[in-house]
Amino acid sequence: MCGPLCPTVACHPAVDEWEYAASSDSSDVDGWWANASFSVLLETGHSFDVIEVPACIGAPSARAAALGPVAVAPTGRWMFLVEPGDALRPELAARLDIVLHGPGSWIPAPPTRTPEGRIRWEVPPAVTAWQLPDPYAVQQVLISQLRPSSHAPSFATTPAGLRRAA
């Protein structure tokens, strides 16, 4: 059961100890789907990790460079699939709206249906020949979207210590 700080909304494994029950064997999956059509969840932390970000960071990042497979949730969360094993850079780790899915986590696979709509591929894995990008390179692009734009108001400090737009 998830709690208030759960980073994955609406998509949860249907069985306890899912790490041990998971399978890519088609007969296992066919048997499970015969009873009920579950969403497909992809386990992270072994073959790939996922950096999940809000749309304000994900959309421009996906347009900025060829970053490998990218899935998008109907809630606006962008999921960048990367090679496993790299921690988040401090600039990303400090943000509560950025999640690294590694060992013990999962993401919903497109076209999984959620209450808000379907998960979709923005960049399908086949487009990148199923190659995963270096996590450092992806993180550098994501970090570049965190920098304030030149159109954002700048602030100066007045003698009384109050902030005012410059």
For the stretch 132-164, pLDDT in tens is 999 999 999 999 998 664 444 444 444 444 444
The total number of structural domains in the chain stands at: 1
Whether 98 and 145 have beta carbons less than 8 Å apart is answered as no
- What is the span of the domain harbouring residue 67? 46-146
Cα torsion for 67, 140, 102, 70, to the nearest 10°? -20
Structural domain contains residue 107:
yes
- Tens digit of each residue's pLDDT (9 = 90 or more) over 50-71: 999 999 999 999 876 667 999 9
Q: Is residue 81 part of a domain?
A: yes
Share the mean pLDDT of the chain.
80
In a domain, 40, yes or no: no
Residues 20-37 have pLDDT tens digits of: 777 777 777 777 767 766
Q: Mean of the pLDDT values across residues 113-135?
A: 91
Which two tokens mark 120?
Answer: 């979709």
pLDDT of residue 131 exceeding 60, the answer is yes
Peptide bond connecting 111 to the previous residue in cis, omega within 30 degrees of 0: yes
Residue 42, pLDDT > 90, answer: no
- Let me know if residue 64 belongs to a domain: yes
137, part of any domain? yes
In a domain, 105, yes or no: yes
Residue 67 falls inside a structural domain: yes
Residue 101 lies in a domain: yes
